[in-house]
Amino acid sequence: MKILVPVKRVVDHNVKVRVKSDGSGVDLDNVKMSINPFDEIAVEEAVRLKEAGSASEVVVVSLGGKGCQETLRTALAVGADRAIHIDAEDGVEPLAVSKCLKQVVSREDPELVIMGKQAIDDDCNQTGQMLSALLGWSQGTFASELKLNGDKATVTREIDGGLETLELAMPAVITCDLRLNEPRYASLPNIMKAKRKPMEQIPVSELGVDITPRIQPVKFAAPAPRSGGMKVADVAELVEKLRSEARVL
Amino acid sequence: MRILVIAEQENGSLVETSLNAINAAQKLAASHGSAAIDVLAAGHNTDALAAECAAVAGVDEVIQVDAPQYAASLAENITTLVVELVRTRDYQAVICASTSVGKNISPRIAALLDVAQVSDVTEIIGVGTYIRPIYAGNIMLTCESAEPVQVLTVRPTAFDKADLGGSATVTRLDAGEDAGLSSLLGRELSKSDRPVLSSAPIVVSGGRGMGSGDNYQRLLEPLADKLGAALGASRAAVDAGFVPNDYQVGQTGKIVAPELYLAVGISGAIQHLAGMSDAKVIVAINKDPDAPIFQVADYGLEGDLNELVPELTECLA
Ligand SMILES: Cc1cc2nc3c(=O)[nH]c(=O)nc-3n(C[C@H](O)[C@H](O)[C@H](O)COP(=O)(O)OP(=O)(O)OC[C@H]3O[C@@H](n4cnc5c(N)ncnc54)[C@H](O)[C@@H]3O)c2cc1C
């Protein structure tokens, strides 16, 4: 069984991004970029399935500018077998990405797609569900546990009230939550090996998908600042302030 | 303009956040001049649910669809139903709350309609113009969508609850097919007599600094009892197994905006702040004077939580 894992290159989760001074966008100059943390978990899950003998091949795919190749190498270094870089501008919208991924699915014919539940830059939380819809497949979003048994997948999902377990007909799209696994670090020999793994490049135009943006960003702004920073000396002062100043008790 | 709001149900009753979604629909309608607002009550044995939806002020029509395949809110079944309704009843907007159910189904609806979705809207400026947080709430994006059907998920804490006192008509429509792609095997829901985390007026959250699940319970439960508060946690506390996953507040957990948020032994990572920085008043208890949480806290109390929390609980008596 082949597993396809889409990965996105995003601003590293430790970076506190800023708006450009004219409000026209996000200042990404000299900002550290990394694999989206949820996608890292997706790659790890796919590699574990391969190591357990449930999968035969793990193919990673990323859509965007040249920088994506670095992200794909990261995925290859933790055990993915080969990579596909769909060469496009950065910032393609989730609907268009899911249409491109559908084309990759029809070329590659995987039985399972595992991906992150959301990208930590646009925080959209859409692409997996959209891909599943376009393929007419089942979906198991926000997964914290995944088991495969023949033509079924059992997925435990993190929901608002706790957990729920679904049985999905395969093929399926799974989107990962944080607690699905703890991704490994790539070892130096594996990073070296990853450099020799195959990386196919496909210009996005070859996929025949209209990627024209449907949503226009108008303004980027910092959220209203909080006027925090005040310290109280002890519990008595805290309670007094909460009662008479903040009036929340 | 016609707007469809997807009501969320749990065991046959309306989930509160659906009222926030209806309020968002009312804002959208008002910005357009006027619009009809319909609510989809899909599920199994939905008479009570449909009646609850019909009692919300400002709802014009409740679409009741009743079949076993809608009981578990499975995405594959609900989305084909909604897409059919959009086509036959000509909706120009589909709205649900950005809860785990809403986030699961809405993008699937958008894709089947071939329209882009706007996620987690916190402000509606007009039809097609919205504000939403990106980068864990570090940036607020104003965006415009000219899509013929506006598919939105709305952040419940950013909208009021729609009032009750309506008397909408209820229309029963036939169920669609069971796609047969997925089925619910079971749910493990956290049981609690406390207020619901995402809408509680007071939230007490513990982080890694709690040290253990036992300590979390021993210190924070009595405090939450005194305050009538909901309990929350940082991701680190959930990952360490102190509390279940549904306690997590943050970018990838629950978004809360209570009157009072107490962060105990939480450092204040941006991903945590993303979930609680809209609280009216933030209190932080932390032993590290440089913990970033103090920068957003209205009242910071520096010291060992093992001493300060019992003292605080005592003081509230
Ligand atoms: C993609 C992604 C998504 C994430 N999503 C979320 C999310 O939704 N929610 C979330 O919370 N995090 C999230 N995180 C994790 C986040 O980055 C932080 O790692 C996490 O919030 C830290 O939790 P913490 O503050 O409890 O732990 P720490 O950062 O370890 O802080 C513990 C604090 O406790 C204090 N402390 C320790 N002992 C005591 C004591 N005895 N008395 C008083 N104070 C004490 C310490 O001074 C410290 O400030 C996410 C991370 C990533 C990468």
- Predicted local confidence at residue B219, as pLDDT: 98
pLDDT band, residue B169 (cuts 50/70/90): very high
**Residue of B242, B286, B309 to test ligand 1 pocket, by largest number of atoms within 8 Å of CB:** B286
Q: Does residue B187 fall inside a structural domain?
A: no
Residue A198 sits at φ, ψ, to 5 deg, of -65, 140
For chain B, how many residues are written? 317
Question: Looking at residue B24, which CATH number applies to its domain?
Answer: 3.40.50.620
B7 and B154 within one domain = yes
The nearest CA of chain B is from the CA of A22 a distance in Å of: 13
Q: Does residue B150 fall inside a structural domain?
A: yes
Structure tokens at B56: 């919300």
Distance in angstroms between the alpha carbons of the first and the last residue of chain B: 54
- Predicted local confidence at residue A227, as pLDDT: 86
B121 and B47 within one domain = yes
Ligand 1 and A120: CB distance under 6 A: yes
Nearest CA to ligand 1 atom 9: B250
Which atom of ligand 1 is found nearest the CA of B305?
42
B276 and B226 within one domain = yes
* Interface contact flag, B315 A93, Cβ < 8 Å: no
B284 and B214 within one domain = yes
Q: Does residue B217 fall inside a structural domain?
A: yes
DSSP secondary structure code for residue A108 in this structure: H
Q: Give how many domains chain B has, as a whole number.
A: 2
Nearest residue on chain B to A118, alpha-carbon basis: B252
**Residue of B103, B234, B251, B290 to test ligand 1 pocket, by largest number of atoms within 8 Å of CB:** B234
Q: Side-chain half-sphere of B150: how many Cα atoms within 13 Å?
A: 27
Domains in chain A, CATH or no CATH each = 2-223 (3.40.50.620)
pLDDT value at B317 more than 80: no
Q: Does residue B92 fall inside a structural domain?
A: yes
Ligand 1 and B288: CB distance under 6 A: yes
- Predicted local confidence at residue A228, as pLDDT: 85
- Predicted local confidence at residue B201, as pLDDT: 97
Give contacts of A229 with chain B, Cβ < 8 Å.
Answer: 294-295, 297, 300
Maximum Cα–Cα distance for chain A, whole Å?
A: 68
Which atom of ligand 1 is found nearest the CA of B211?
38
**What is the H or E stretch that residue A156 is in?**
strand A152-159
Q: Does residue B89 fall inside a structural domain?
A: yes
pLDDT band, residue B263 (cuts 50/70/90): very high
B227 and B152 within one domain = no
Ligand 1 and A19: CB distance under 6 A: no
- Predicted local confidence at residue B11, as pLDDT: 86
Q: Does residue B183 fall inside a structural domain?
A: no
For ligand 1, the distance from its centroid to the CA atom of residue A100, given in whole angstroms, is 37
- Predicted local confidence at residue A32, as pLDDT: 97
B151 and B15 within one domain = yes
For ligand 1, the distance from its centroid to the CA atom of residue B235, given in whole angstroms, is 6
Question: Other C-beta atoms within 10 Å of A181: how many?
Answer: 17
Ligand 1 and B254: CB distance under 6 A: no
Ligand 1 and B218: CB distance under 6 A: no
pLDDT value at B221 more than 80: yes
For chain A, how many residues are written? 249
B31 and B148 within one domain = yes
Ligand 1 and B137: CB distance under 6 A: no
B208 and B169 within one domain = no
> Which among A129, A168, A238 has the least Cβ separation from residue B108?
A129
B144 and B24 within one domain = yes
Q: Side-chain half-sphere of A240: how many Cα atoms within 13 Å?
A: 6
| Stretch among B114-123, B191-200, B283-292 having the lowest mean pLDDT | B191-200
Distance in angstroms between the alpha carbons of the first and the last residue of chain A: 58
What are B179-192's pLDDT values in tens digits?
A: 999 999 999 998 88
Please list the residues that pair with A147 across neighbouring strands. A154
B280 and B153 within one domain = no
For ligand 1, the distance from its centroid to the CA atom of residue A58, given in whole angstroms, is 33
Give contacts of A234 with chain B, Cβ < 8 Å.
Answer: 301
- Residue A149 corresponds to which amino acid? N
Question: Looking at residue B240, which CATH number applies to its domain?
Answer: 3.40.50.1220
B211 and B166 within one domain = no
Q: What is the pLDDT along chain A (249 residues), one digit of tens a residue?
A: 999 999 999 999 999 999 999 999 999 999 999 999 999 999 999 999 999 999 999 999 999 999 999 999 999 999 999 999 999 999 999 999 999 999 999 999 999 999 999 999 999 999 999 999 999 999 999 999 999 999 999 999 999 999 999 999 999 999 999 999 999 999 999 999 999 999 999 999 999 999 999 999 999 999 998 888 899 999 999 999 999 999 999
Which atom of ligand 1 is found nearest the CA of B236?
23
B225 and B95 within one domain = no
Q: Does residue B96 fall inside a structural domain?
A: yes
pLDDT band, residue B85 (cuts 50/70/90): very high
Residue B53 sits at φ, ψ, to 5 deg, of -65, -40
Ligand 1 and B269: CB distance under 6 A: yes
Q: Which domain holds residue B32?
A: 2-173
What are B9-56's pLDDT values in tens digits?
A: 988 999 999 999 999 999 999 999 989 999 999 999 999 999 999 999
- Predicted local confidence at residue B34, as pLDDT: 84
DSSP secondary structure code for residue A26 in this structure: B
Q: What is the pTM of this model?
A: 0.97
Domain stops at, among B114, B139, B173? B173
Q: Does residue B136 fall inside a structural domain?
A: yes
